[in-house]
Amino acid sequence: MVAPNFFGNRTLDILSKAEREGYGVLAQVCYDAGMAIAFVQAAERCRSPAILMLFPITLAYGKGPFLRFCLDLAHQASVPIAVHLDHATDPEHIELAFSLAEQGIAFDSIMVDASHAETDEENINLARPYIGRAYKLGIPVEVELGRLEGGEAGLRMISDAKLTDPEKAEVYMEGTGASILAPSIGNLHGTYLNPPNFRQHILVKLYKAFKGRIPLCLHGTDGLPDEIFVQCIRNGVSKINMNSWARDPYAKTLREHLSTKSFPEAQEAATEAFASVTRSTLCHLTKYRSSRLHPFTQSAMSNVVLITGAAGWLGGLLARALKEDAMTPNLQLILADVVEPTAPADVDTVAIKIDLTDELQVEALFNTRLGFPDTVYCLHGIMSRGSEDDFDFGLKVNVGSVRLLLDTIRQKQHPSGRLIKFVFTSSLAVYGGPLPDLITSSTIATPESAYGLGKLTSELFINEYTRRGFIDGRILRLPTIVVRPGPPSLATSAFISAIIREPLQGLEATCPIGDSLDSSALDLPLWLASSQVTIANLVHAKHIPAELFPPHTRVVCLPGFTATVRDEILALGKVSGKGALALIKFKDDPVNRRVVSSWPSKFDNTYALNLGFNVDKGGMEPIIWRFQREL
């Protein structure tokens, strides 16, 4: 039986492209909705194709509704994601998959696993009838030639492994009519108690026989070292199955957090643990091109990150987030600010008190004991009201010091020859004048403040230095962040956090917009994002492949949502009661109101979301609840 051509099938399209371009695709087992959501979000953030796998035991209890949920989740993602039924061995599970397909709820592919058969001939005879029926339903099938040792949650235990005989592979695939082959080359399900001994020569022969026709799938890959992935992908493997590598951190985190936190908080932490591992794995596999590691993904390499403005609350949160980021192994930090920043625990850090407008001091940042940074986060600056009040000093810091950093990088260059990633935090203040109702990536920036002028000028330098190949720039125009912790800043937007932060702590706050709760001025719309989402997006920015940006600009308006000043105050009342509202005092400030009113309040998030950035959901109330819990 010859496999038909499945034109437009998600699984086969994903694997065919991976084989042609020389990378692997993560196929991850998901046991529940939390895992499935985390996996899809991880794939979107990494801009990677992926395959979401269900075990038969999950299909048996979730049935049609859960499969429909997974299909909708995967198929509506911004990257190609397929849904696959793995290790369908028992007839009732295969029949259930077929029955759902007849109802219009069909897997993109399934594995009919008859590897428990005593002989290859018996394997063919068991699998072939199901494969024929699957093809009538438009579902390609994966099969296993040989037999893997071991077992996992949801799989039967196998104690006698049987290596694939490549000389029999052609006959076997013709006999079953299968579309994907999972060979046994010394891999096993579960934990490797001894160093893995993969027979790469088997893969070499299989790839030579099936290249361009039948994708190869590798089972039993949890926890393998980088060099094995490199060899296997070089030898034709495109589908990489994993299970416990992400499942176990999920279960461990959920168990530990349930003893001290509420169930939603524990579930959120467990989901993030699952997403963190899968993000790291996705990034690795899609970068194993030409059988070598992309420089970013080498787990043995250092990640030296320079953060300017590191003593501020944003820099401090970013440093801690990078420490927890699975995609930034071996982190080392250079933290710089006008006061000496605080280093996060358990990270090799150089903390420096510095004047970033001084050429010699800036040059010293690139000569510390940690060596040349791989990534620079340029967070420092004189805020909006400070820039407006002291025009010359604002430009000296917001333009001059950024230019000093750029020129130092240009003159020195990274010893490896790689371009330094330069992540710059810009602002909504670059916009002004008459604006369209919806800001898009092509909307012209015309600032109406000194702060906006400084930010836009530095943006232009970064775009030009990127175009000339001096740096790899990433320019992030941040929404107004709520709720900022700590004392108020000199930013014109500082009140947006203060009217939430101070009342939640029993303190008075001044609102410079309007003169009372009844003032129509409170209907001023704002473009907002939470600190949690903003920090996650800052971390993500350094992981985006350079080729995903258009050639003419590195500017990205980070995703946000629109809320009015009144929406903020009403949300505070819902969360904390009328007593909190009474702590807000009104003192209308025409200068403040003019500057904030010039900022846009509604953006098209499409471009940023397609790059894998996140956006808050649910408006102000979840943000205020979260901030209140963390006080």
CA separation for the pair 575, 578 (Å, rounded): 9
CA separation for the pair 139, 133 (Å, rounded): 9
CB count, 10 Å around CB of 271?
A: 22
Give kind and range of the element (H or E) at residue 351: strand 348-353
Nearest-CA neighbor of 588 among 533, 516, 538, 515? 515
CA separation for the pair 178, 167 (Å, rounded): 17
Nearest-CA neighbor of 452 among 406, 385, 403? 385
**Do residues 308 and 398 touch, judged by C-beta distance below 8 A?**
no
| 554 phi, psi to nearest 5 deg | -110, 15
Active site residue 451: yes
- Which DSSP category does 522 fall into? G
- Which DSSP category does 445 fall into? P
Tokens of 360: 């010699």
Nearest-CA neighbor of 443 among 428, 455, 422, 454? 428
Residue 48 falls in which region: left (phi positive, over 0), alpha (psi -120 to 50) or beta: beta
Q: Which of 250, 451, 465, 607 is catalytic?
A: 451
Distance of CA 466 to the CA centre of its chain: 23
CA separation for the pair 217, 233 (Å, rounded): 10
Query: Which class for 361: exposed (0-12), middle (13-18), buried (19 or more C-beta within 10 A)?
Result: middle
> Buried b / exposed e across 215-243, counting CB within 10 Å, b at 16+?
bbbbbbbbebeeebbbbbbbbbbbbbbbb
Q: Report the DSSP beta bridge partners of residue 304.
A: 332
CA separation for the pair 586, 351 (Å, rounded): 40
Strands 149-150 and 216-218: unpaired
CA separation for the pair 419, 400 (Å, rounded): 22
DSSP state letters, 87-111: EE-SHHHHHHHHHHHHTT---SEEE
DSSP state letters, 9-69: -HHHHHHHHHHHHT--EEEEE--SHHHHHHHHHHHHHHT--EEEEE-HHHHHHHHHHHHHH
CA separation for the pair 345, 315 (Å, rounded): 15
- Which DSSP category does 419 fall into? P
Q: Which residues are catalytic?
A: 451
